[in-house]
Structure 1
Amino acid sequence: MAAINLPRIIRVGGGALAELPGAMAQCGVARPFIVTDGFMVSSGMVASLLAVLDDAGIKAVVFAETVPDPTVAVVEAALEALRAADSDCVIGFGGGSPIDTAKAIAALAVEPRPVQAMKAPATTDVPGLPIIAVPTTAGTGSEATRFTIVTDEASSEKMLCAGLAFLPTVAIVDYELTMGKPARLTADTGIDSLTHAIEAYVSKKANAFSDAMAISAMKLIAPNIRTACTEPGNRAAREAMMVGAHHAGIAFSNASVALVHGMSRPVGAFFHVPHGLSNAMLLPAVTAFSAPAALSRYADCARAMGVAGAEEGDQSAVARLLEELAALNADLSVPTPRSHGISEARWFEVVPEMARQALASGSPGNNPRVPEAAEIERLYAEVFG
């Protein structure tokens, strides 16, 4: 039995941002609170969004103080601004961090409580304010997921929060918003979405619906990610990456992520490594660890990504998958934690705590091969470089 949950309204395609006022009218909302960040303001993208709303006679309040890896303090500040604004919906505009912040405050606006009270295994299903997600990166898929991530500064823990309260009502998936984004951001968000697709497909909670979305995502992302990085203005590559990231988000929201994400969140929390980059650092080693437990599933991934032929045996296909993941990291200049500048002493000092947090998040329990803490610690040692 699979339970499938999707945004109520999804508008996909170049120029879809213009559809935002119409989608809002369908939901009966007209007083948006926009959650974004300083770069989105300084780059002129918030002005473009406001112009679309203004043309429709919609006045918005803007909160632009979100930070990468949103913290409890930022969520509380945004919530205070939302309460003062008399808004009837929240628009998350930007990468995963503004959208995650928007999701958290939309839930807390209706049911006030400490942010920490929403941490998994708690489930937050009661709807908050309607959430409208407008991603400007092709990566997190957050516009289609029932998850949000908030960092607790006190404990250096990235808290996974889950439930239907975090599933956007409206998703505007417009690849034109990603045009010209720099190579590092394109690479990190692209590998993030590829990881979502692979993990959703091999997850113990996979189902026929999530499988179809995951395979679609791999077919779109794998042949286009290098082009999107080297040719930032390539519209076809950008569109494939954006739709692929969206399908990957739908896939993991309706299956789950697994060990890569479980291990990735603590790396982000302790060392402030961007989420997609920490996924990329971990993906080859974790895939090699997990593959023997789900050979045919990983072989399907290799075929969907176009690195193994339809007739090729599973063992050979998985070998090609591992080669491709290593080659992708090399081609996209993904560093190891060591070459990224992380202190070896500090890394190994926090490895036991990172392994504890990874297991506590629940994600590793969905992995084809469920690790023990000692195995996670060995993987962290292997990827350090």
Structure 2
Amino acid sequence: MSNAFYIPSLNLMGAGCLADAVKTIESHGFQKALIVTDGVLNKMGAVNKLTTLLDEAQVAAVVYDETKPNPTIENVNDGLALLKEHGCDCVISFGGGSPHDCAKGIALLATNGGEIKDYEGVDVSIKPQLPLIAINTTAGTASEMTRFCIITDEARHIKMAIVDKNVTPIVSVNDPELMLAKPASLTAATGMDALTHAIEAFVSIAATPVTDASAIKAIEMIQANLREAVANGDNLEARDNMAYAQFMAGMAFNNASLGYVHAIAHQLGGFYDLPHGVCNAVLLPHVQQYNAQVAPARLTDVARAMGVDTTGMSDEQAADAGLDAIRQLSKDVSIPAGLEELGVKRDDFDVLAANALKDACGFTNPKQATHDEIIGILAAAL
């Protein structure tokens, strides 16, 4: 069996690398960029740092800042209309996973045409997207470097998973200076999203030695740095370490894919419009408890990466101890204890489970679940 490894061709890391990103944009000869971001980042003035540097490099820019936390088909269409109106030759996403995913949808349609729902699934598109430079402002989703694009279809109340090599940005940018002073709740949710990426990739049936190395290192760094990043948002070292950790988690899941945490979380996000990272954090220990039936040895490695001393423990005991460590980290960064706190209702389990089983992320889970088993996981997480 052959394995592919996907990653942007250039990945800029470290404090101050935003300036290097703009030099790279200039060197490509791009004339006019569509900047895809959200209203909060624009109002805060964060986008001004980028537009000032672009002005100095004589690269024109137009800003689309209406991306929702769970970006929609309408967001993609509106951004695309702005891109066409101004004749933009590249797209720059600026923010967290939401602007990156929205920008991927826009850039893909700019060259391939049609509607974004035409590309749901794996590698449906034919042409490379319009060049996309993804500038990250949160340490979590790794969308700045992946081939995953998640767009909400509001009419169907679902999140569409577009997994396509053609939505991979040409450049990813992780400047921790852009991550300073982000709210603690956002830092916690995105950090737990990254932990979920790493753990799901590590227990995935598509894992390879390369993704394993990335996943385990990511888990170790998140365990060591997330609490500090949440408690002290201006700690540049913690922010930088979390940026590297989420990037490595991205390397892992971009190539080994994910599992039922994401398959279920996508349904919760699409159905109730809930924050993705929080859904992942709540579901993570419950799905891994289910996976422990078939992957206790893998979860023992996860436990060690979470700082658990597994000496003298069986794999089953070590896996349980690792799940306790995950729960403790969630608690320490103030993640809600259960789905009920988020407004999830038992009456909706049936439709949530049915849709979760169709989500491409679940196909690489180490144990394939029945409809009733997914309902069982939801009930345990409630």
TM-score by length of 1: 0.95
Contact 2:26 2:57 in 1 (8 A): no
**Distance in 2, Cα, partners of 1:246 & 1:26:** 24
Contact 1:126 1:164 in 2 (8 A): no
**Distance in 2, Cα, partners of 1:114 & 1:55:** 35
User: How far does residue 122 in structure 1 lie from its aligned partner after superposition?
Assistant: 5.6
**Distance in 1, Cα, partners of 2:360 & 2:86:** 36
Instruction: Give the equivalent residue in structure 2 for 1:338.
Output: 340
Instruction: Give the equivalent residue in structure 2 for 1:352.
Output: 350
Instruction: Report Cα offsets for 1:88-131 as digits up to 9, x if no partner.
Output: 11001001111100001101001111211111156335201011
**Distance in 2, Cα, partners of 1:247 & 1:124:** 26
Contact 1:9 1:23 in 2 (8 A): no
Amino acid at match of 1:227: E
Instruction: Give the equivalent residue in structure 2 for 1:67.
Output: 68
SS in 2 for 1:379: helix
Structure 2 unaligned segments of length 5 or more: list them: none
Contact 1:258 1:366 in 2 (8 A): yes
Instruction: Give the equivalent residue in structure 2 for 1:9.
Output: 10
Instruction: Give the equivalent residue in structure 2 for 1:133.
Output: 134
**Distance in 1, Cα, partners of 2:248 & 2:155:** 34
Instruction: Report Cα offsets for 1:299-350 as digits up to 9, x if no partner.
Output: 111112222357765333212211111112222222122223x16xxx2222
Structure 1 unaligned segments of length 5 or more: list them: none
**Distance in 2, Cα, partners of 1:356 & 1:114:** 25
Amino acid at match of 1:363: C
Instruction: Give the equivalent residue in structure 2 for 1:190.
Output: 191
TM-score by length of 2: 0.96
Amino acid at match of 1:366: T
Contact 2:30 2:59 in 1 (8 A): no
**Distance in 1, Cα, partners of 2:72 & 2:311:** 45
Instruction: Give the equivalent residue in structure 1 for 2:359.
Output: 361
Equivalent residue pairs, number: 380
Instruction: Give the equivalent residue in structure 1 for 2:20.
Output: 19
User: How far does residue 229 in structure 1 lie from its aligned partner after superposition?
Assistant: 0.7
**Distance in 1, Cα, partners of 2:11 & 2:346:** 44
User: How far does residue 9 in structure 1 lie from its aligned partner after superposition?
Assistant: 0.9
Contact 1:12 1:172 in 2 (8 A): yes
User: How far does residue 293 in structure 1 lie from its aligned partner after superposition?
Assistant: 0.7
**Distance in 2, Cα, partners of 1:136 & 1:307:** 31
Instruction: Give the equivalent residue in structure 2 for 1:377.
Output: 375
**Distance in 2, Cα, partners of 1:228 & 1:331:** 12
**Distance in 1, Cα, partners of 2:259 & 2:130:** 29
Matched, 1:163 2:164: yes
**Distance in 1, Cα, partners of 2:161 & 2:369:** 19
SS in 1 for 2:85: helix
SS in 1 for 2:31: coil
Amino acid at match of 1:268: G
Summarize the Cα distance change of 1:26–1:214 in structure 2 as closer, same or farther, 3 Å threshold. farther
Matched, 1:97 2:81: no
Amino acid at match of 1:364: G
SS in 2 for 1:4: coil
Instruction: Give the equivalent residue in structure 1 for 2:223.
Output: 222
Instruction: Give the equivalent residue in structure 1 for 2:119.
Output: 118
Once the two structures are overlaid, the 10-residue window that deviates more, 229-238 or 139-148, is: 229-238
Matched, 1:240 2:226: no
Residues 239-258 of structure 1 correspond to what in structure 2 (within 5 A)?
239-258=240-259
Instruction: Report Cα offsets for 1:188-231 as digits up to 9, x if no partner.
Output: 00000000000111101111111111112112111111111111
**Distance in 2, Cα, partners of 1:93 & 1:21:** 12
Instruction: Report Cα offsets for 1:255-314 as digits up to 9, x if no partner.
Output: 101110001001111112100000011011111111121111111111122223577653
